[in-house]
């Protein structure tokens, strides 16, 4: 079998998502450098990345740095910072990128690629489905899934090429092929905006409630009152998406998908819950907070989204 031709990969933001997908590429043979906080980098340099999956754990040898210099030589950059750090991360990366480098946003929220474009970075969008956390420096705890949807944020058009509106771009196909070779299931979309909103619906259903209730997903989907609240959050998100002109499935379809996700990932806790437990700022302004802001701008009522985001921000300010 012909060996794949791997790009040089830099993972900017070596948290749980960055470490998971960077490690998968590295294990398959790609030259990968993680860029992250000093404590994680020191542990990974010393012992390798502890990749702790259900029923198995192994050490992954992988390069790690605290500064962004590895981006200069990278052909593929996985942009994995928290949404609150998108603008600053883009400012740092923009002058370092090679002209042919492909940047992929592996982030929550629906507006990271537009913000990257404002800094001159024409990134691909990725919808991430993985339950993972970093319980200690250099320790990746993988609880479930680990797949992606890759695509452009809006159709890419070139003169005389109307097919670009319906066909995935060449760079999206190339990135998806690399992930598939690394054992990461990867679906390709011509326009990923709808998939980003579908993921936002799931995040708005689970993240804030998991954090405020200090609950894993299993107890949430087992409680009728919590399910009703989740459905209301989903309905608001779908209404805002439709007002934005994003064609996603109806409320019932999204609700049933959320219930299946909760059952499949009963032991998972949301990233918002993990951030609050560690005393870190959350991404709530890019989740329920974003839905509330866009709802207000578009004339769509979002009382549940506004209440959930307000309560999460209050807990951020009064960490206990």
* pLDDT tens per residue across span 172-205: 999 999 999 999 999 999 999 999 999 999 999 9
32 and 151 in one domain?
yes
> What is the reported pLDDT for 264?
87
- State which of 164, 191, 218 marks the end of a domain: 191
Instruction: Provide the angle, in degrees to the nearest 10, between the axes of the packed helices 303-317 and 193-212.
Output: 60
Say if residue 319's pLDDT is above 90. no
Say if residue 37's pLDDT is above 70. yes
What 3-state class would DSSP assign to 146?
Answer: strand
48 and 177 in one domain?
yes
Q: What are the tokens at 183?
A: 């054992």
> What is the reported pLDDT for 131?
85
Which residue carries 């994003």 as its tokens?
A: 246
Residue 307 lies in a domain: yes
d(CA 261, CA 258): 5
- The domain that contains 138 carries what CATH number? 3.40.50.720
259 and 184 in one domain?
no
- State which of 146, 166, 191 marks the end of a domain: 191
> What is the reported pLDDT for 318?
83
Residue 4 lies in a domain: no
Residue 113 lies in a domain: yes
221 and 169 in one domain?
no
104 and 239 in one domain?
no
Range of the domain at 81: 9-191
131 and 147 in one domain?
yes
Number of folded domains that form the chain: 2
The mean pLDDT of the chain is: 94
- The domain that contains 222 carries what CATH number? 1.10.1040.10
Nearest-CA neighbor of 202 among 247, 156, 248?
248
Nearest-CA neighbor of 276 among 212, 206, 201, 209?
212
Say if residue 127's pLDDT is above 60. yes
Using one digit for the tens of pLDDT, what is the confidence trace for 132-181?
899 999 999 998 889 999 999 987 655 555 554 578 999 999 999 999 99
Using one digit for the tens of pLDDT, what is the confidence trace for 272-317?
998 999 898 999 999 999 999 999 999 999 999 999 999 999 999 8
- pTM, two decimal places: 0.90
177 and 40 in one domain?
yes
d(CA 78, CA 18): 7
Using one digit for the tens of pLDDT, what is the confidence trace for 108-123?
999 999 999 999 999 9
Say if residue 1's pLDDT is above 50. no
Q: What are the tokens at 151?
A: 């695509």
> What is the reported pLDDT for 3?
57
CA 270 to chain centre: 12
d(CA 117, CA 154): 12
303 and 278 in one domain?
yes
Count H helices and E strands in the chain, helices first: 12, 10
> What is the reported pLDDT for 265?
85
Residue 274 lies in a domain: yes
> What is the reported pLDDT for 156?
63
d(CA 240, CA 303): 12
224 and 208 in one domain?
yes
- State which of 172, 191, 210 marks the end of a domain: 191
202 and 170 in one domain?
no
> What is the reported pLDDT for 144?
83
Residue 2 lies in a domain: no
- Tell me the pairing of strands 76-79 and 102-106: parallel
The predicted model gives 239-243 an average pLDDT of 98
Is-contact 92 111, C-beta < 8 A?
Answer: no
E strands of the chain, at which residues? 9-12, 32-35, 49-53, 56-60, 63-65, 76-79, 102-106, 124-136, 139-152, 186-191
Nearest-CA neighbor of 218 among 260, 257, 254, 256?
260
d(CA 302, CA 179): 37
Q: How many CB atoms lie within 10 A of CB 228?
A: 9
Q: How confident is the model at residue 268 (pLDDT cuts 50, 70, 90)?
A: confident
């Amino acid at each position: 079998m012909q060996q794949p031709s791997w790009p040089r990969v830099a993972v900017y933001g070596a948290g749980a998502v960055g470490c998971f997908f960077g490690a998968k590429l590295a294990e398959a043979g790609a030259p990968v450098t993680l860029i992250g906080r000093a404590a994680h980098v020191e542990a990974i340099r010393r012992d390798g990345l502890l990749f702790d999956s259900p029923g198995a754990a192994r050490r992954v040898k992988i390069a790690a740095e605290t500064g962004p210099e590895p981006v200069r030589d990278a052909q593929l950059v996985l942009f994995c910072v928290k949404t609150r750090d998108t603008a600053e991360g883009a400012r740092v990366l923009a002058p370092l990128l090679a002209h042919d480098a492909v940047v992929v946003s592996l982030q929550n929220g629906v507006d990271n690629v537009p913000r990257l474009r404002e800094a001159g970075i024409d990134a691909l969008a990725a919808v991430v489905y993985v339950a993972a956390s970093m319980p200690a420096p250099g320790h990746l705890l993988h609880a479930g899934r680990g797949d992606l949807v890759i695509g452009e944020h809006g159709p890419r058009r070139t003169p005389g090429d109307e097919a670009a509106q319906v066909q995935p771009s060449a760079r999206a196909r190339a990135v998806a092929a690399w992930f598939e070779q690394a054992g990461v299931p990867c679906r390709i979309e011509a326009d990923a905006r709808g998939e980003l909103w579908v993921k936002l619906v799931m995040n708005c259903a689970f993240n804030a409630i998991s954090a405020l209730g200090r609950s894993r997903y299993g107890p949430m989907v087992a409680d009728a009152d919590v399910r009703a609240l989740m459905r209301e959050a989903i309905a608001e998100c779908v209404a805002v998406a439709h007002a934005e002109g994003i064609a996603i499935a109806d409320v019932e379809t999204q609700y049933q998908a959320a219930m299946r996700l909760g059952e499949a990932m009963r032991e998972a806790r949301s990233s918002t819950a993990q951030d609050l437990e560690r005393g870190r700022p959350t991404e709530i302004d890019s989740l329920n907070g974003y839905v509330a802001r866009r709802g207000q701008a578009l004339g769509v009522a979002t009382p549940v989204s506004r209440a959930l985001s307000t309560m999460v921000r209050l807990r951020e300010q009064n960490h206990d």
